Chains A and B, each alone.
Chain A
Amino acid sequence: MKVVYLNLRKPQGNILRIILLFLIPACISFTACRSNKKAGGSSTDTTAITGEYSPVSTFAPNVPEAKNNAKPKKVIVEIEVVEKVMKLADGVDYTFWTFGGKVPGPFIRVHEGDEVELHLNNNANNKMPHNIDLHAVSGPGGGAEATMTVPGHSSVFRFRALNPGLFVYHCATAPVGMHIANGMYGLILVDPKDGLPYADKEFYLMQGEFYTTGKNGEPGLQPFDMDKAIKEQPEYVVFNGSVGSTTGDNALHAKVGDRVRIYIGNAGPNLVSSFHVIGQIFDKVYVEGGSEINHNVATTLIPAGGGEIVEFICKEPGTFNIVDHSIFRAFNQGALAQLVVTGPADKNIYSGKQADQFYYPPIQDEKKDKPAVEPAAAPEPSFADRFKDGQTLFASNCSSCHQTTGLGLPGSFPPLAKSDFLMSRQDMGIGVVLHGINNEAITVNGKHYQGVMPNLSLTDDQVASILTYVRNSWGNKSPGIKASDVKKVRNQ
């Protein structure tokens, strides 16, 4: 066709032009015939095409059923390119460029060996030229050059689906990044010769980011921001073309026991995806959408312009969040989808919450924590200094249970204020603070407590200060405790 352009550029006269127009296609078809003959018998799959059909193409999150043709067929795929304003998030609109009027475009499913005849129709009301580069194509530009199409026109090209796998397709018209950033992408699955194993549920998800002039959430029709795109700083990272496309009422659904297969594509245009379903483990991952299968993966990396097939069996009911685990994208930018699984729970696999109890820091082995060499005893401070230090130490070590009021919590933590237990013997208080209480029944002011108090690993000096404070606060009155008193008890 380029030859035609060449001759039309400088028209020499109508008659010459007409002759050329007829002659040149004839030359081209002659050349094409010759090269076909040459190709016959080569190593590529030349199995005869038997019959043709137009496949059912579905939009996300739906996946068409596999055809699993015994013999290669001619598959006729029609895609219309539509530029239109749609919702990107609540209150936020965007002028999307789409394959088929939605983002992502239709899920195309063919069989290994099929011959695909692709018709790309560019709606006459569109502004832009568009084309399609399918990563399932072996040929220059993946079909991009063959399908360059201005508004109101239609291009056709054929390719042989030689390699099985999951592939991204996208518009590749310059500036390519902008065409992808505006929503021009989708997935094509080439089923392997023997087909993929049975799955109860198949879903179609595609991640893509959007670069808007307004910040995330800023309402109105948002323009594309070239600078943010070049800096790779999107405002939105979403599944299936908009925030909330696949959450809440639009969530995916499955039953307990279902084998779920997700065809997940990443359009980019810039970011790679750390794809993860929270609370599920993929028992199978077709790595990068190819033939290698990895097992028991929780988070898998999907390159920009790539796809993956992940599978898992739903073992438990519940809502499972599907995220890009580059997690700020999920939390702040929209990269969140949901799978709702219904059916009976299995407590052997997952119990749910069984208890909610107060957490006590672990009781440590005092011998292990004991310094090898006892530090030299510091001079004994005054009562006032002991009291002051003790107040500070009490606040950080004791008050969360015994409360700053010293009143404790009825039923759980005994009071220190006017406590007969504390005040009855000076050395009783020292022993308790030094060693803790390991689940012993105690009686304080006539009330029973199942005493559990951690060993706080305090120094003699600190214990003396705390006890000086608690034994002289909230109405308690007694002489100050010295470090030497504590040491005596510790060595007993």
Chain B
Amino acid sequence: MKTVSTLLMMICTLIPLKHYGEMPAVHRGMPARNAAMVSIPGGSYRPFLHRKDQPAAVKIHPFSLDVNAVTNGEFLDFVKANPKWARSKISPLFADAGYLKQWTGDFEIGDDKIINSPVTNVSWFAADAYARWKGKRLPTQAEWEYAAAAAPVGMQKGARLTRIILAWYDHPNPVILPPVQSTYKNAYGLYDMHGLIWEWVEDFNSVIIQGNSGTNADSFSCAAGSLGSVNKEDYAAFMRFAFREGLQARYAINGLGFRCARDLNRFD
């Protein structure tokens, strides 16, 4: 039976891959200077954590977002062009000891298998610097959540995105992080919004800011964590927000990477 379930899992993993060929704009496999972006139409986002003195919905202006998370290969280009962000050069104020630990050297990824995998073990400072170098920025938490809420292409009727996300947590991290586009494409054309890595957002620590009123009433721990949430059953969202609560901008973490956003102007 174990073999059967392993096979099933493999098949499930393969299904999203059939959308692969439909994405000519994506230069999969090759480190690209200009990774493809898609336009995300504006709309409104209902914050998952919400206080009475805040608006119930946040207006999202149209923006564009990277189709893929930034890969090790792409990040290597950045480090080569900006050596002060190399492993041995970076200030401990901007990244902790785990920074790019999956690489074998300052300018060497080492294992070819992870060139097209999302870069992880990058601090918020490093992600932010990469985005600026690209003329982009990190998405806000509201933008990211808004874009990530879109359903996977071909999701079965009645299926729930939360289920799909939670399935990720039911398995330990793989030894070698799979490449980008190894999970699913969502309705906006974004890949791997869930199920591959966690992603930095510009205002990741706004959870703490909200709670910083001198008391611990808004803390996100334990049962009280559900007090401010708009959907007590969105366990996947609880996890993302809890994860962000635990972060500091200098942290470099195994499963944490990023993708970039850009404001849309009328010429886009």
Chain A interfacial positions (CB closer than 8 Å to B): 2-6, 8-9, 11, 17-18, 21, 83-85, 91, 93, 95, 124-129, 131, 133, 140-141, 144-145, 148-153, 172-176, 178, 219-221, 223-224, 226, 230
Task: Please state if A224 and B169 are interface contacts (CB–CB under 8 Å).
Answer: yes
The complex places the Cα of A152 from the Cα of B248 at a distance, in Å, of 12
Q: Which of B205, B235, B242 contacts A129 (CB 8 A)?
A: B242
Q: Please, which residues of chain B bring their CB within 8 A of the CB of A176?
A: 221-223, 225
Binds A, one of B30-38, B74-82, B179-187, B249-257: B249-257
Q: Which of A9, A131, A219 contacts B221 (CB 8 A)?
A: A131
Q: Please, which residues of chain A bring their CB within 8 A of the CB of B209?
A: 5-6, 9
**Number of chain B residues whose Cβ lies closer than 8 Å to a Cβ of chain A:** 51
Q: Which of A6, A85, A173, A224 contacts B212 (CB 8 A)?
A: A6
Q: Name B225's closest neighbour in chain A (CB-CB).
A: A174
Q: Name B8's closest neighbour in chain A (CB-CB).
A: A220
Task: Please state if A221 and B247 are interface contacts (CB–CB under 8 Å).
Answer: no
Binds A, one of B55-63, B106-114, B170-178: B170-178
Task: Please state if A150 and B246 are interface contacts (CB–CB under 8 Å).
Answer: yes
Q: Please, which residues of chain A bring their CB within 8 A of the CB of B205?
A: 5, 8-9
Q: Please, which residues of chain B bring their CB within 8 A of the CB of A124?
A: 98, 253-254
Q: Which of A5, A18, A127, A219 contacts B248 (CB 8 A)?
A: A5
The complex places the Cα of A127 from the Cα of B169 at a distance, in Å, of 7
Q: Name A178's closest neighbour in chain B (CB-CB).
A: B235
B137, chain A: closest CB distance, angstroms: 13
Check: B208 CB closer than 8 A to any chain A CB.
yes
Q: Please, which residues of chain B bring their CB within 8 A of the CB of A3?
A: 212
The complex places the Cα of A174 from the Cα of B171 at a distance, in Å, of 19
Q: Please, which residues of chain B bring their CB within 8 A of the CB of A8?
A: 205, 248-249
The complex places the Cα of A21 from the Cα of B233 at a distance, in Å, of 38
Q: Name B211's closest neighbour in chain A (CB-CB).
A: A2
Q: Please, which residues of chain A bring their CB within 8 A of the CB of B128?
A: 11
Task: Please state if B173 and A127 are interface contacts (CB–CB under 8 Å).
Answer: yes
The complex places the Cα of A153 from the Cα of B248 at a distance, in Å, of 11
A147, chain B: closest CB distance, angstroms: 9
Identify which of B2, B128, B222, B245 gathers the most chain A CB atoms within 10 Å of its CB.
B222
Check: B1 CB closer than 8 A to any chain A CB.
yes
Task: Please state if A223 and B246 are interface contacts (CB–CB under 8 Å).
Answer: no
Q: Which of A17, A145, A149 contacts B216 (CB 8 A)?
A: A145
Task: Please state if B222 and A223 are interface contacts (CB–CB under 8 Å).
Answer: no
Identify which of B221, B239, B245, B248 gathers the most chain A CB atoms within 10 Å of its CB.
B221
Task: Please state if A145 and B1 are interface contacts (CB–CB under 8 Å).
Answer: no
Task: Please state if B93 and A21 are interface contacts (CB–CB under 8 Å).
Answer: yes
Check: B238 CB closer than 8 A to any chain A CB.
yes
Task: Please state if B254 and A172 are interface contacts (CB–CB under 8 Å).
Answer: no
Q: Please, which residues of chain B bring their CB within 8 A of the CB of A128?
A: 169, 239, 242-243
The complex places the Cα of A178 from the Cα of B239 at a distance, in Å, of 10
Check: B166 CB closer than 8 A to any chain A CB.
yes
Task: Please state if A174 and B226 are interface contacts (CB–CB under 8 Å).
Answer: yes
Instruction: Knowing A5-B205, A9-B203, A151-B254 are in contact, say whether A223-B170 is a contact too (CB < 8 A).
Output: yes
30 contacts between A and B (CB under 8 A): A5-B209, A6-B208, A9-B203, A91-B1, A91-B2, A127-B172, A127-B255, A129-B245, A141-B221, A150-B246, A151-B253, A151-B255, A152-B251, A152-B254, A172-B222, A173-B242, A174-B220, A174-B221, A174-B222, A175-B225, A175-B242, A176-B223, A176-B225, A178-B235, A219-B2, A220-B1, A220-B2, A221-B5, A223-B166, A226-B166
Task: Please state if B172 and A174 are interface contacts (CB–CB under 8 Å).
Answer: no
A280, chain B: closest CB distance, angstroms: 35
Q: Name B202's closest neighbour in chain A (CB-CB).
A: A9
The complex places the Cα of A182 from the Cα of B170 at a distance, in Å, of 10
Task: Please state if B216 and A140 are interface contacts (CB–CB under 8 Å).
Answer: yes
A167, chain B: closest CB distance, angstroms: 15
Task: Please state if B238 and A175 are interface contacts (CB–CB under 8 Å).
Answer: yes
Q: Please, which residues of chain A bring their CB within 8 A of the CB of B39?
A: none
Q: Please, which residues of chain A bring their CB within 8 A of the CB of B251?
A: 150, 152-153
Task: Please state if B98 and A175 are interface contacts (CB–CB under 8 Å).
Answer: no
Identify which of A95, A140, A176 gathers the most chain B CB atoms within 10 Å of its CB.
A176
The complex places the Cα of A107 from the Cα of B247 at a distance, in Å, of 29
Check: B104 CB closer than 8 A to any chain A CB.
no
Q: Which 6 A-B pairs have the closest CB atoms?
A: A174-B225, A220-B5, A129-B246, A223-B170, A172-B222, A144-B221
Task: Please state if A150 and B173 are interface contacts (CB–CB under 8 Å).
Answer: no
CB within 8 Å of A: which B217-239 residues: 219-223, 225-226, 233, 235, 238-239
Q: Name A213's closest neighbour in chain B (CB-CB).
A: B170
The complex places the Cα of A3 from the Cα of B169 at a distance, in Å, of 32
Task: Please state if B208 and A5 are interface contacts (CB–CB under 8 Å).
Answer: yes
Task: Please state if A17 and B253 are interface contacts (CB–CB under 8 Å).
Answer: no
Q: Please, which residues of chain A bring their CB within 8 A of the CB of B208?
A: 2, 5-6
Instruction: Knowing A150-B243, A174-B220, A178-B235 are in contact, say whether A84-B172 is a contact too (CB < 8 A).
Output: yes
The complex places the Cα of A149 from the Cα of B245 at a distance, in Å, of 9
Check: B13 CB closer than 8 A to any chain A CB.
no
Instruction: Knowing A9-B206, A18-B93, A144-B221 are in contact, say whether A83-B172 is a contact too (CB < 8 A).
Output: yes
